[in-house]
Structure 1
Amino acid sequence: MTTNILEIKNIKRHYPVSSGILSLSKATIKAVNDISLEVRNGETLGLVGESGCGKSTLARLLTGLESPDSGTIFFKGKAFKDWDSSKIGTMMQMVFQDPYSSLNPRQKVGNIISEGMRINKTGTRLEISKRVEELLVQVGMRPEHAKRYPHEFSGGQRQRIAIARAIAMNPDLIICDEPVSALDVSVQAQVLNLLKKIQTEFALSYVFISHDLSVVSHISDRVAVMYLGKLMEISPTEELYHNPLHPYTQILLEAVPIPDPTIQTADVSIPGDMPSPISPPPGCPFHPRCPKAMDICKETPPMRKEIKKDHTVFCHLY
Protein backbone atom coordinates (compact mmCIF):
# COMPACT_ATOMS: atom_id res chain seq x y z
CA MET A 1 0.00 0.00 0.00
CA THR A 2 1.32 3.44 -0.96
CA THR A 3 1.86 5.74 1.98
CA ASN A 4 1.75 9.51 1.92
CA ILE A 5 4.64 11.56 3.21
CA LEU A 6 2.54 14.74 3.12
CA GLU A 7 -1.22 15.22 3.25
CA ILE A 8 -3.20 18.44 3.35
CA LYS A 9 -6.89 18.58 4.19
CA ASN A 10 -9.14 21.56 3.41
CA ILE A 11 -6.47 24.21 3.96
CA LYS A 12 -7.20 27.87 3.39
CA ARG A 13 -4.95 30.93 3.44
CA HIS A 14 -6.56 34.35 3.10
CA TYR A 15 -4.82 37.71 3.35
CA PRO A 16 -6.67 40.85 4.55
CA VAL A 17 -6.10 43.95 2.43
CA SER A 18 -7.07 47.57 3.09
CA SER A 19 -7.86 50.37 0.69
CA GLY A 20 -8.53 54.07 0.91
CA ILE A 21 -6.67 56.83 2.72
CA LEU A 22 -7.91 55.74 6.14
CA SER A 23 -7.69 52.02 5.29
CA LEU A 24 -11.33 51.65 6.27
CA SER A 25 -12.42 49.39 3.41
CA LYS A 26 -11.12 45.89 3.96
CA ALA A 27 -11.22 42.89 1.66
CA THR A 28 -9.64 39.44 1.62
CA ILE A 29 -7.35 37.81 -0.94
CA LYS A 30 -8.25 34.13 -1.12
CA ALA A 31 -4.83 32.83 -2.15
CA VAL A 32 -5.45 29.19 -1.18
CA ASN A 33 -9.12 28.34 -0.90
CA ASP A 34 -9.98 24.88 0.48
CA ILE A 35 -7.40 22.53 -1.02
CA SER A 36 -6.91 18.85 -0.17
CA LEU A 37 -3.93 17.00 -1.61
CA GLU A 38 -1.44 14.25 -0.84
CA VAL A 39 2.20 13.61 -1.75
CA ARG A 40 3.29 10.00 -1.83
CA ASN A 41 6.59 8.58 -0.67
CA GLY A 42 9.26 8.80 -3.36
CA GLU A 43 7.13 10.58 -5.96
CA THR A 44 7.35 13.95 -7.66
CA LEU A 45 4.05 15.81 -7.58
CA GLY A 46 3.92 18.59 -10.14
CA LEU A 47 1.81 21.65 -9.36
CA VAL A 48 0.92 23.84 -12.34
CA GLY A 49 -1.21 26.89 -13.03
CA GLU A 50 -1.13 30.48 -14.21
CA SER A 51 0.78 33.16 -12.33
CA GLY A 52 -1.23 34.36 -9.35
CA CYS A 53 -3.15 31.11 -8.84
CA GLY A 54 -1.67 30.50 -5.38
CA LYS A 55 1.11 27.98 -6.13
CA SER A 56 3.85 29.77 -4.17
CA THR A 57 1.51 30.46 -1.25
CA LEU A 58 0.74 26.76 -1.11
CA ALA A 59 4.49 26.02 -1.14
CA ARG A 60 5.04 28.27 1.88
CA LEU A 61 2.19 26.55 3.69
CA LEU A 62 3.63 23.11 2.96
CA THR A 63 7.01 24.03 4.40
CA GLY A 64 5.61 25.73 7.47
CA LEU A 65 6.86 29.18 6.45
CA GLU A 66 3.24 30.27 6.83
CA SER A 67 0.32 28.78 8.75
CA PRO A 68 -3.07 28.07 7.16
CA ASP A 69 -6.14 29.92 8.42
CA SER A 70 -7.99 26.61 8.58
CA GLY A 71 -7.45 22.99 7.65
CA THR A 72 -4.69 20.59 8.62
CA ILE A 73 -1.32 19.61 7.15
CA PHE A 74 0.02 16.15 8.00
CA PHE A 75 3.68 15.21 7.59
CA LYS A 76 4.52 11.52 7.95
CA GLY A 77 1.07 10.97 9.41
CA LYS A 78 1.41 13.59 12.14
CA ALA A 79 -0.11 17.07 12.11
CA PHE A 80 2.30 19.99 11.75
CA LYS A 81 1.27 21.37 15.14
CA ASP A 82 2.44 18.15 16.83
CA TRP A 83 5.93 18.34 15.33
CA ASP A 84 8.84 20.19 16.89
CA SER A 85 9.54 23.04 14.45
CA SER A 86 13.31 22.44 14.49
CA LYS A 87 12.81 18.74 13.76
CA ILE A 88 10.46 19.24 10.83
CA GLY A 89 12.84 21.85 9.42
CA THR A 90 15.51 19.18 8.97
CA MET A 91 13.13 16.75 7.25
CA MET A 92 11.62 19.23 4.79
CA GLN A 93 13.49 21.78 2.70
CA MET A 94 12.76 24.23 -0.11
CA VAL A 95 14.51 25.27 -3.32
CA PHE A 96 13.44 28.77 -4.31
CA GLN A 97 12.81 30.26 -7.72
CA ASP A 98 15.52 32.92 -7.83
CA PRO A 99 19.06 31.60 -7.27
CA TYR A 100 20.33 35.18 -7.09
CA SER A 101 18.28 36.25 -4.06
CA SER A 102 17.98 32.92 -2.21
CA LEU A 103 21.69 32.81 -1.27
CA ASN A 104 23.24 35.20 1.24
CA PRO A 105 25.77 37.30 -0.76
CA ARG A 106 27.84 37.99 2.38
CA GLN A 107 28.53 34.36 3.18
CA LYS A 108 30.82 31.94 1.44
CA VAL A 109 29.27 28.91 -0.21
CA GLY A 110 30.63 26.56 2.46
CA ASN A 111 28.89 28.53 5.22
CA ILE A 112 25.63 28.68 3.24
CA ILE A 113 25.50 24.91 2.73
CA SER A 114 26.63 24.04 6.26
CA GLU A 115 24.35 26.44 8.15
CA GLY A 116 21.77 23.78 9.00
CA MET A 117 24.44 21.31 10.06
CA ARG A 118 26.11 23.89 12.32
CA ILE A 119 22.83 24.94 13.94
CA ASN A 120 21.86 21.32 14.61
CA LYS A 121 25.43 20.36 15.59
CA THR A 122 25.55 17.29 13.37
CA GLY A 123 29.33 16.86 13.61
CA THR A 124 32.69 18.43 14.28
CA ARG A 125 33.96 21.36 12.26
CA LEU A 126 36.14 19.04 10.19
CA GLU A 127 33.29 16.58 9.58
CA ILE A 128 30.95 19.34 8.47
CA SER A 129 33.62 20.77 6.14
CA LYS A 130 34.13 17.34 4.57
CA ARG A 131 30.36 16.90 4.21
CA VAL A 132 30.09 20.26 2.40
CA GLU A 133 32.75 19.18 -0.09
CA GLU A 134 30.91 15.89 -0.70
CA LEU A 135 27.65 17.75 -1.30
CA LEU A 136 29.28 20.09 -3.79
CA VAL A 137 30.61 17.13 -5.76
CA GLN A 138 27.18 15.47 -5.69
CA VAL A 139 25.58 18.52 -7.34
CA GLY A 140 28.29 18.82 -10.00
CA MET A 141 30.50 21.44 -8.37
CA ARG A 142 34.10 21.29 -7.11
CA PRO A 143 35.20 21.12 -3.43
CA GLU A 144 37.18 24.36 -3.70
CA HIS A 145 33.97 26.23 -4.58
CA ALA A 146 33.12 26.18 -0.86
CA LYS A 147 35.54 29.08 -0.36
CA ARG A 148 33.89 31.38 -2.92
CA TYR A 149 30.98 33.81 -2.70
CA PRO A 150 27.64 33.38 -4.58
CA HIS A 151 28.31 36.32 -6.94
CA GLU A 152 31.22 34.39 -8.45
CA PHE A 153 28.88 31.80 -9.96
CA SER A 154 26.35 31.65 -12.79
CA GLY A 155 22.62 31.22 -12.22
CA GLY A 156 22.76 27.48 -12.87
CA GLN A 157 25.68 27.03 -10.49
CA ARG A 158 23.89 29.03 -7.80
CA GLN A 159 20.86 26.78 -8.11
CA ARG A 160 23.15 23.77 -7.71
CA ILE A 161 24.44 25.35 -4.50
CA ALA A 162 20.84 25.88 -3.34
CA ILE A 163 20.12 22.20 -4.01
CA ALA A 164 23.23 21.20 -2.03
CA ARG A 165 21.99 23.31 0.87
CA ALA A 166 18.54 21.67 0.63
CA ILE A 167 19.89 18.11 0.85
CA ALA A 168 22.54 18.85 3.51
CA MET A 169 20.33 17.65 6.39
CA ASN A 170 19.12 14.53 4.52
CA PRO A 171 15.48 15.66 4.23
CA ASP A 172 12.61 13.43 3.17
CA LEU A 173 10.73 16.08 1.16
CA ILE A 174 11.85 19.04 -0.94
CA ILE A 175 9.48 21.75 -2.20
CA CYS A 176 10.80 23.13 -5.50
CA ASP A 177 9.18 26.51 -6.22
CA GLU A 178 9.81 27.11 -9.94
CA PRO A 179 13.50 26.17 -9.52
CA VAL A 180 14.40 26.46 -13.22
CA SER A 181 12.21 29.34 -14.43
CA ALA A 182 15.00 31.92 -13.95
CA LEU A 183 17.58 29.82 -15.83
CA ASP A 184 18.54 29.53 -19.50
CA VAL A 185 16.84 26.69 -21.36
CA SER A 186 20.11 24.78 -21.78
CA VAL A 187 20.77 25.02 -18.04
CA GLN A 188 17.20 24.05 -17.12
CA ALA A 189 17.70 20.52 -18.47
CA GLN A 190 20.91 20.11 -16.46
CA VAL A 191 19.23 21.18 -13.21
CA LEU A 192 16.18 18.97 -13.86
CA ASN A 193 18.41 15.95 -14.48
CA LEU A 194 20.34 16.78 -11.31
CA LEU A 195 17.09 16.87 -9.31
CA LYS A 196 16.11 13.45 -10.67
CA LYS A 197 19.57 12.05 -9.86
CA ILE A 198 19.45 13.47 -6.31
CA GLN A 199 15.95 12.06 -5.82
CA THR A 200 17.15 8.55 -6.61
CA GLU A 201 20.27 8.81 -4.45
CA PHE A 202 18.52 10.26 -1.39
CA ALA A 203 15.07 8.59 -1.77
CA LEU A 204 13.39 12.00 -1.82
CA SER A 205 9.85 13.13 -2.47
CA TYR A 206 9.33 16.36 -4.42
CA VAL A 207 6.60 18.91 -4.82
CA PHE A 208 7.62 20.59 -8.09
CA ILE A 209 5.87 23.90 -8.77
CA SER A 210 5.97 25.41 -12.24
CA HIS A 211 3.90 27.20 -14.87
CA ASP A 212 5.81 25.37 -17.63
CA LEU A 213 3.95 22.20 -18.56
CA SER A 214 6.87 20.89 -20.61
CA VAL A 215 9.14 21.03 -17.57
CA VAL A 216 6.53 19.40 -15.35
CA SER A 217 6.03 16.51 -17.79
CA HIS A 218 9.76 15.79 -17.71
CA ILE A 219 10.08 15.37 -13.96
CA SER A 220 6.66 14.64 -12.40
CA ASP A 221 4.92 11.35 -11.59
CA ARG A 222 1.57 13.05 -10.95
CA VAL A 223 0.31 16.55 -11.74
CA ALA A 224 -2.14 18.78 -9.88
CA VAL A 225 -3.63 21.69 -11.85
CA MET A 226 -4.47 24.79 -9.82
CA TYR A 227 -6.57 27.85 -10.69
CA LEU A 228 -7.47 30.83 -8.52
CA GLY A 229 -6.68 29.13 -5.22
CA LYS A 230 -8.44 25.85 -6.05
CA LEU A 231 -7.57 22.52 -7.62
CA MET A 232 -9.01 21.71 -11.04
CA GLU A 233 -7.56 18.27 -11.79
CA ILE A 234 -5.13 15.69 -10.38
CA SER A 235 -3.76 12.85 -12.47
CA PRO A 236 -0.72 10.70 -13.28
CA THR A 237 1.43 12.71 -15.68
CA GLU A 238 1.07 10.54 -18.78
CA GLU A 239 -2.68 10.22 -18.26
CA LEU A 240 -3.09 13.99 -17.86
CA TYR A 241 -1.18 14.80 -21.04
CA HIS A 242 -3.06 12.21 -23.11
CA ASN A 243 -6.50 12.54 -21.57
CA PRO A 244 -7.04 15.94 -19.89
CA LEU A 245 -10.57 16.20 -18.49
CA HIS A 246 -11.01 19.73 -17.17
CA PRO A 247 -11.50 22.44 -19.84
CA TYR A 248 -8.81 24.53 -18.13
CA THR A 249 -6.28 21.69 -18.35
CA GLN A 250 -7.21 21.09 -21.99
CA ILE A 251 -6.58 24.74 -22.89
CA LEU A 252 -3.27 24.81 -21.00
CA LEU A 253 -2.01 21.75 -22.88
CA GLU A 254 -3.18 23.05 -26.24
CA ALA A 255 -1.22 26.25 -25.61
CA VAL A 256 2.10 24.43 -25.05
CA PRO A 257 4.37 25.40 -28.00
CA ILE A 258 5.75 22.62 -30.22
CA PRO A 259 9.49 23.08 -30.89
CA ASP A 260 9.17 22.41 -34.62
CA PRO A 261 8.80 25.35 -37.04
CA THR A 262 7.39 23.07 -39.75
CA ILE A 263 4.29 22.27 -37.69
CA GLN A 264 1.54 24.87 -37.83
CA THR A 265 -0.45 25.17 -34.61
CA ALA A 266 -3.58 27.14 -33.84
CA ASP A 267 -3.34 30.27 -31.73
CA VAL A 268 -4.74 29.06 -28.42
CA SER A 269 -5.56 31.43 -25.58
CA ILE A 270 -7.86 31.48 -22.58
CA PRO A 271 -10.56 34.12 -23.10
CA GLY A 272 -10.60 37.02 -20.66
CA ASP A 273 -8.35 37.59 -17.67
CA MET A 274 -8.08 35.67 -14.43
CA PRO A 275 -10.59 37.13 -11.93
CA SER A 276 -9.25 38.86 -8.86
CA PRO A 277 -8.60 36.54 -5.88
CA ILE A 278 -10.22 39.27 -3.76
CA SER A 279 -13.61 38.51 -5.30
CA PRO A 280 -13.49 35.09 -7.00
CA PRO A 281 -16.59 34.14 -8.96
CA PRO A 282 -19.17 31.88 -7.30
CA GLY A 283 -19.49 28.26 -8.32
CA CYS A 284 -16.56 27.00 -10.37
CA PRO A 285 -13.85 29.70 -10.36
CA PHE A 286 -13.07 29.01 -14.03
CA HIS A 287 -16.64 29.39 -15.33
CA PRO A 288 -16.32 33.03 -16.59
CA ARG A 289 -13.58 31.89 -18.99
CA CYS A 290 -14.72 28.33 -19.68
CA PRO A 291 -15.99 27.54 -23.21
CA LYS A 292 -18.09 24.66 -21.81
CA ALA A 293 -19.62 26.46 -18.82
CA MET A 294 -23.20 25.56 -17.85
CA ASP A 295 -25.66 27.30 -15.56
CA ILE A 296 -24.76 25.04 -12.64
CA CYS A 297 -21.11 26.10 -12.98
CA LYS A 298 -22.08 29.68 -12.11
CA GLU A 299 -23.73 28.75 -8.83
CA THR A 300 -22.43 25.47 -7.39
CA PRO A 301 -18.77 24.63 -6.71
CA PRO A 302 -17.92 21.30 -8.35
CA MET A 303 -17.15 18.37 -6.08
CA ARG A 304 -14.10 16.14 -6.33
CA LYS A 305 -14.83 13.27 -8.75
CA GLU A 306 -12.51 10.32 -9.40
CA ILE A 307 -13.14 9.40 -13.03
CA LYS A 308 -10.64 6.56 -13.07
CA LYS A 309 -7.95 5.32 -10.70
CA ASP A 310 -5.84 8.30 -9.53
CA HIS A 311 -7.47 10.65 -12.05
CA THR A 312 -9.60 13.22 -10.23
CA VAL A 313 -11.36 16.27 -11.63
CA PHE A 314 -13.39 19.14 -10.18
CA CYS A 315 -15.89 19.78 -12.95
CA HIS A 316 -19.68 19.55 -13.50
CA LEU A 317 -19.14 17.99 -16.92
CA TYR A 318 -18.45 14.65 -15.22
Structure 2
Amino acid sequence: MSSLLEVKDLSYCAKSRGTLFKREQSFKLEPINFELQSGETMAIIGDNGSGKSTVAKLLVGAAMPDSGSIILNGETMQPGNIKQRCLKIRMVFQHSQSSLNPGLTLGALLDEPLKLNTEYDGYERRRIIEETLVKVGLMAEHAHFYAHMLSEGQKQRVAVARALILNPEVIVADEPFAALDPSVRSQTVNLLVKLQQDLGVGFIFISHNLGIVRHISDRILVMRHGKVIEAGKTDVIFNWPKHDYTKKLIYAYQSLSKR
Protein backbone atom coordinates (compact mmCIF):
# COMPACT_ATOMS: atom_id res chain seq x y z
CA MET A 1 0.00 0.00 0.00
CA SER A 2 1.41 3.41 -0.98
CA SER A 3 1.73 6.06 1.70
CA LEU A 4 -0.46 9.14 1.93
CA LEU A 5 2.57 11.32 2.68
CA GLU A 6 6.25 10.68 2.07
CA VAL A 7 9.01 12.98 3.29
CA LYS A 8 12.37 12.25 1.70
CA ASP A 9 15.70 13.75 2.78
CA LEU A 10 14.10 17.02 3.87
CA SER A 11 16.67 19.51 5.14
CA TYR A 12 16.70 23.17 6.13
CA CYS A 13 19.17 25.68 7.50
CA ALA A 14 18.22 29.01 9.09
CA LYS A 15 20.45 31.79 10.34
CA SER A 16 19.51 34.75 12.47
CA ARG A 17 21.44 37.98 12.07
CA GLY A 18 23.88 38.87 14.77
CA THR A 19 23.85 42.23 16.56
CA LEU A 20 26.25 44.18 18.71
CA PHE A 21 24.96 42.36 21.80
CA LYS A 22 23.96 39.02 20.30
CA ARG A 23 25.88 36.50 18.24
CA GLU A 24 24.60 35.15 14.96
CA GLN A 25 22.68 31.92 15.56
CA SER A 26 21.91 29.13 13.16
CA PHE A 27 19.69 26.07 13.13
CA LYS A 28 20.14 23.10 10.86
CA LEU A 29 17.53 20.46 10.21
CA GLU A 30 19.34 17.29 9.18
CA PRO A 31 17.81 15.32 6.26
CA ILE A 32 14.76 13.57 7.68
CA ASN A 33 12.59 10.82 6.25
CA PHE A 34 9.18 9.49 7.25
CA GLU A 35 5.90 8.23 5.85
CA LEU A 36 2.30 8.79 6.93
CA GLN A 37 -0.62 6.53 6.06
CA SER A 38 -4.20 7.66 5.51
CA GLY A 39 -6.08 7.84 8.82
CA GLU A 40 -2.85 7.62 10.82
CA THR A 41 -1.56 9.99 13.51
CA MET A 42 2.16 10.53 13.80
CA ALA A 43 3.43 12.51 16.78
CA ILE A 44 6.68 14.47 16.79
CA ILE A 45 8.19 14.99 20.23
CA GLY A 46 11.34 16.62 21.58
CA ASP A 47 12.59 19.64 23.53
CA ASN A 48 12.24 23.24 22.40
CA GLY A 49 14.63 23.87 19.53
CA SER A 50 14.65 20.24 18.42
CA GLY A 51 13.15 21.06 15.01
CA LYS A 52 9.54 19.97 15.52
CA SER A 53 7.94 23.27 14.48
CA THR A 54 10.42 23.66 11.63
CA VAL A 55 9.16 20.38 10.17
CA ALA A 56 5.59 21.68 10.49
CA LYS A 57 6.46 24.91 8.65
CA LEU A 58 8.16 23.00 5.85
CA LEU A 59 5.16 20.71 5.42
CA VAL A 60 2.61 23.53 5.11
CA GLY A 61 4.84 25.76 2.96
CA ALA A 62 5.55 28.43 5.59
CA ALA A 63 9.26 27.77 5.03
CA MET A 64 11.10 26.45 1.99
CA PRO A 65 13.43 23.43 2.37
CA ASP A 66 17.01 23.56 1.16
CA SER A 67 16.69 20.06 -0.25
CA GLY A 68 14.47 17.00 -0.23
CA SER A 69 10.90 16.37 -1.30
CA ILE A 70 7.38 16.13 0.09
CA ILE A 71 5.20 13.65 -1.79
CA LEU A 72 1.44 13.46 -1.25
CA ASN A 73 -0.45 10.56 -2.81
CA GLY A 74 2.41 10.01 -5.23
CA GLU A 75 2.49 13.67 -6.31
CA THR A 76 5.53 15.79 -5.44
CA MET A 77 4.52 19.04 -3.77
CA GLN A 78 6.24 21.89 -5.60
CA PRO A 79 7.87 24.37 -3.17
CA GLY A 80 6.57 27.42 -5.04
CA ASN A 81 3.01 26.14 -5.50
CA ILE A 82 1.42 27.55 -2.34
CA LYS A 83 -2.15 26.94 -3.53
CA GLN A 84 -1.44 23.25 -4.07
CA ARG A 85 0.03 23.00 -0.57
CA CYS A 86 -2.80 25.05 0.97
CA LEU A 87 -5.44 22.71 -0.42
CA LYS A 88 -3.77 19.47 0.59
CA ILE A 89 -1.98 20.15 3.88
CA ARG A 90 -3.51 22.42 6.52
CA MET A 91 -2.33 23.58 9.92
CA VAL A 92 -3.86 24.04 13.37
CA PHE A 93 -1.87 26.58 15.37
CA GLN A 94 -1.10 26.59 19.08
CA HIS A 95 -2.60 29.97 19.94
CA SER A 96 -6.06 30.14 18.39
CA GLN A 97 -6.66 33.64 19.78
CA SER A 98 -3.78 35.23 17.84
CA SER A 99 -4.62 33.34 14.63
CA LEU A 100 -8.23 34.62 14.49
CA ASN A 101 -8.83 38.12 13.10
CA PRO A 102 -10.96 39.91 15.74
CA GLY A 103 -12.49 42.20 13.13
CA LEU A 104 -14.11 39.39 11.12
CA THR A 105 -17.01 37.12 11.90
CA LEU A 106 -16.27 33.40 12.01
CA GLY A 107 -18.14 33.04 8.73
CA ALA A 108 -15.86 35.61 7.08
CA LEU A 109 -12.78 33.94 8.56
CA LEU A 110 -13.79 30.58 7.12
CA ASP A 111 -14.85 32.14 3.84
CA GLU A 112 -11.38 33.49 3.07
CA PRO A 113 -9.69 30.16 2.22
CA LEU A 114 -12.72 29.14 0.15
CA LYS A 115 -12.65 32.39 -1.84
CA LEU A 116 -8.92 32.14 -2.47
CA ASN A 117 -8.72 28.45 -3.32
CA THR A 118 -12.05 27.34 -4.82
CA GLU A 119 -14.55 28.33 -7.49
CA TYR A 120 -17.62 27.91 -5.24
CA ASP A 121 -20.30 30.61 -5.37
CA GLY A 122 -21.50 32.42 -2.25
CA TYR A 123 -24.37 30.04 -1.56
CA GLU A 124 -22.14 26.96 -1.75
CA ARG A 125 -19.48 28.58 0.44
CA ARG A 126 -22.05 29.39 3.13
CA ARG A 127 -23.27 25.80 3.08
CA ILE A 128 -19.73 24.45 3.49
CA ILE A 129 -18.99 26.93 6.31
CA GLU A 130 -22.11 25.95 8.25
CA GLU A 131 -21.49 22.22 7.75
CA THR A 132 -17.88 22.58 8.90
CA LEU A 133 -18.87 24.51 12.04
CA VAL A 134 -21.32 21.75 12.95
CA LYS A 135 -18.66 19.14 12.20
CA VAL A 136 -16.36 20.60 14.87
CA GLY A 137 -19.10 20.77 17.50
CA LEU A 138 -20.27 24.36 17.02
CA MET A 139 -23.56 25.64 15.61
CA ALA A 140 -24.23 27.00 12.13
CA GLU A 141 -25.26 30.27 13.82
CA HIS A 142 -21.71 30.69 15.10
CA ALA A 143 -20.88 31.95 11.60
CA HIS A 144 -22.23 35.34 12.77
CA PHE A 145 -20.10 35.45 15.94
CA TYR A 146 -16.79 37.25 16.49
CA ALA A 147 -13.78 35.63 18.14
CA HIS A 148 -14.14 37.64 21.37
CA MET A 149 -17.59 36.09 21.89
CA LEU A 150 -16.14 32.58 22.17
CA SER A 151 -14.48 30.56 24.91
CA GLU A 152 -10.91 29.33 24.41
CA GLY A 153 -12.19 25.85 23.60
CA GLN A 154 -14.58 27.25 20.98
CA LYS A 155 -11.79 29.31 19.43
CA GLN A 156 -9.70 26.19 19.07
CA ARG A 157 -12.65 24.47 17.37
CA VAL A 158 -12.78 27.36 14.91
CA ALA A 159 -9.05 26.84 14.25
CA VAL A 160 -9.79 23.18 13.54
CA ALA A 161 -12.70 24.20 11.27
CA ARG A 162 -10.40 26.50 9.30
CA ALA A 163 -7.98 23.63 8.82
CA LEU A 164 -10.78 21.34 7.63
CA ILE A 165 -12.63 23.83 5.41
CA LEU A 166 -10.74 22.88 2.23
CA ASN A 167 -11.12 19.15 2.83
CA PRO A 168 -7.36 18.50 3.20
CA GLU A 169 -5.64 15.14 3.22
CA VAL A 170 -3.14 15.97 5.98
CA ILE A 171 -3.52 18.19 9.04
CA VAL A 172 -0.48 19.41 10.95
CA ALA A 173 -1.26 20.38 14.55
CA ASP A 174 1.51 22.29 16.35
CA GLU A 175 0.86 22.15 20.12
CA PRO A 176 -2.91 22.69 19.59
CA PHE A 177 -3.83 22.00 23.23
CA ALA A 178 -1.10 23.86 25.11
CA ALA A 179 -3.24 26.91 25.94
CA LEU A 180 -6.35 24.92 26.99
CA ASP A 181 -7.36 23.89 30.49
CA PRO A 182 -7.50 20.11 31.12
CA SER A 183 -11.26 19.62 30.69
CA VAL A 184 -11.41 21.58 27.42
CA ARG A 185 -8.21 19.87 26.27
CA SER A 186 -9.82 16.46 26.73
CA GLN A 187 -12.87 17.52 24.70
CA THR A 188 -10.68 18.84 21.87
CA VAL A 189 -8.56 15.68 21.80
CA ASN A 190 -11.71 13.56 21.50
CA LEU A 191 -12.96 15.86 18.72
CA LEU A 192 -9.79 15.35 16.68
CA VAL A 193 -9.92 11.59 17.17
CA LYS A 194 -13.53 11.49 15.98
CA LEU A 195 -12.84 13.74 12.99
CA GLN A 196 -9.99 11.50 11.93
CA GLN A 197 -12.18 8.41 12.19
CA ASP A 198 -14.94 10.10 10.19
CA LEU A 199 -12.79 11.78 7.53
CA GLY A 200 -9.74 9.51 7.27
CA VAL A 201 -7.26 12.38 7.21
CA GLY A 202 -3.65 11.94 8.25
CA PHE A 203 -2.54 13.84 11.36
CA ILE A 204 0.92 15.08 12.26
CA PHE A 205 0.76 16.06 15.90
CA ILE A 206 3.49 18.09 17.60
CA SER A 207 3.39 18.14 21.38
CA HIS A 208 5.27 18.10 24.67
CA ASN A 209 2.34 16.37 26.36
CA LEU A 210 3.28 12.70 26.25
CA GLY A 211 -0.02 11.68 27.84
CA ILE A 212 -1.94 13.00 24.84
CA VAL A 213 0.71 11.65 22.46
CA ARG A 214 0.26 8.17 23.90
CA HIS A 215 -3.52 8.46 23.65
CA ILE A 216 -3.90 9.62 20.05
CA SER A 217 -0.77 8.69 18.07
CA ASP A 218 0.00 5.54 16.09
CA ARG A 219 3.68 6.31 15.60
CA ILE A 220 6.25 8.70 17.06
CA LEU A 221 9.28 10.60 15.78
CA VAL A 222 11.69 11.72 18.48
CA MET A 223 13.74 14.79 17.51
CA ARG A 224 16.76 16.43 19.06
CA HIS A 225 19.02 19.18 17.70
CA GLY A 226 17.44 18.98 14.24
CA LYS A 227 17.76 15.21 13.93
CA VAL A 228 15.35 12.29 14.17
CA ILE A 229 17.04 10.14 16.79
CA GLU A 230 14.35 7.48 17.15
CA ALA A 231 11.12 6.48 15.39
CA GLY A 232 8.61 3.70 15.82
CA LYS A 233 5.15 2.62 16.87
CA THR A 234 3.81 4.44 19.91
CA ASP A 235 3.59 1.40 22.19
CA VAL A 236 7.14 0.35 21.26
CA ILE A 237 8.58 3.83 21.95
CA PHE A 238 6.84 4.03 25.33
CA ASN A 239 7.62 0.49 26.45
CA TRP A 240 11.05 -0.10 24.89
CA PRO A 241 12.79 3.22 24.14
CA LYS A 242 16.27 2.75 22.73
CA HIS A 243 17.98 6.14 22.66
CA ASP A 244 19.08 7.62 26.00
CA TYR A 245 17.26 10.88 25.23
CA THR A 246 14.01 9.03 24.48
CA LYS A 247 14.39 7.07 27.72
CA LYS A 248 14.78 10.35 29.59
CA LEU A 249 11.55 11.73 28.09
CA ILE A 250 9.56 8.55 28.71
CA TYR A 251 10.82 8.04 32.27
CA ALA A 252 10.05 11.67 33.14
CA TYR A 253 6.50 11.21 31.82
CA GLN A 254 6.06 7.94 33.74
CA SER A 255 7.30 9.55 36.95
CA LEU A 256 4.81 12.40 36.64
CA SER A 257 1.90 10.13 35.71
CA LYS A 258 2.43 8.01 38.85
CA ARG A 259 2.04 10.98 41.20
Question: TM-score, normalised to structure 2's length?
Answer: 0.93
- Judge conservation of contact 2:77–2:84 (CA < 8 Å) in 1: no
Aligned to 2:163: 166
Question: Which of 85, 90, 93 is residue 90 of structure 2 equivalent to?
Answer: 93
| Partner SS, residue 118 of structure 1 | helix
- 1:241 and 1:20 map into 2 onto residues whose CA distance is 43
Map 1:287-306 → 2, pairs under 5 A: none
Question: Which of 226, 231, 237 is residue 228 of structure 2 equivalent to?
Answer: 231
Q: CA deviation at 1:73?
A: 2.0
Aligned to 1:29: 27
| Partner SS, residue 207 of structure 1 | strand
Query: Cα deviation per residue 1:176-221 (whole Å; 9 max; x = unaligned)?
Result: 1111111111111111110111111111000000011111111101
- 1:27 and 1:184 map into 2 onto residues whose CA distance is 34
Aligned to 1:57: 54
Aligned to 2:194: 197
Query: Cα deviation per residue 1:137-164 (whole Å; 9 max; x = unaligned)?
Result: 1111111111011111111110101111
Number of corresponding residues:
258
Stretch of structure 1 that moved more, 33-42 or 135-144? 33-42
Question: Which of 74, 78, 84 is residue 75 of structure 2 equivalent to?
Answer: 78
Query: Cα deviation per residue 1:109-139 (whole Å; 9 max; x = unaligned)?
Result: 0111122212234422122112211111111
Aligned to 1:123: 120
Aligned to 1:18: 17
- 1:11 and 1:19 map into 2 onto residues whose CA distance is 26
Query: Cα deviation per residue 1:85-113 (whole Å; 9 max; x = unaligned)?
Result: 31331111100011111111111001111
Map 1:127-276 → 2, pairs under 5 A: 127-256=124-253, 257-261=255-259
User: What letter matches 1:38 in structure 2?
Assistant: E
Superposition CA RMSD, Å: 1.9
Q: CA deviation at 1:20?
A: 4.2
Aligned to 2:64: 67
Q: Which structure would you say has the larger Rg? A: 1
Q: CA deviation at 1:70?
A: 1.9
Percent identity for Structure 1 against Structure 2:
38
Aligned to 1:5: 4
* Unmatched tracts of structure 2, length 5 or more: none
- Judge conservation of contact 1:48–1:226 (CA < 8 Å) in 2: yes
| Partner SS, residue 11 of structure 1 | strand
Question: TM-score, normalised to structure 1's length?
Answer: 0.76
- 1:204 and 1:71 map into 2 onto residues whose CA distance is 23
- Judge conservation of contact 1:114–1:165 (CA < 8 Å) in 2: no
- 2:21 and 2:50 map into 1 onto residues whose CA distance is 29
- 2:221 and 2:79 map into 1 onto residues whose CA distance is 27
More helix per residue: 2
- 2:79 and 2:145 map into 1 onto residues whose CA distance is 39
- Judge conservation of contact 1:122–1:128 (CA < 8 Å) in 2: no
User: What letter matches 2:10 in structure 1?
Assistant: I
Question: Which of 31, 35, 40 is residue 37 of structure 2 equivalent to?
Answer: 40
Aligned to 1:310: none
User: What letter matches 2:38 in structure 1?
Assistant: N
| Partner SS, residue 255 of structure 1 | helix
Rate the CA distance shift 1:110–1:180 in 2: closer, same or farther, 3 A.
same
User: What letter matches 2:27 in structure 1?
Assistant: I
| Partner SS, residue 103 of structure 2 | coil
* Unmatched tracts of structure 1, length 5 or more: 262-318
Higher relative contact order (CA 8 A, sep 6+): 2
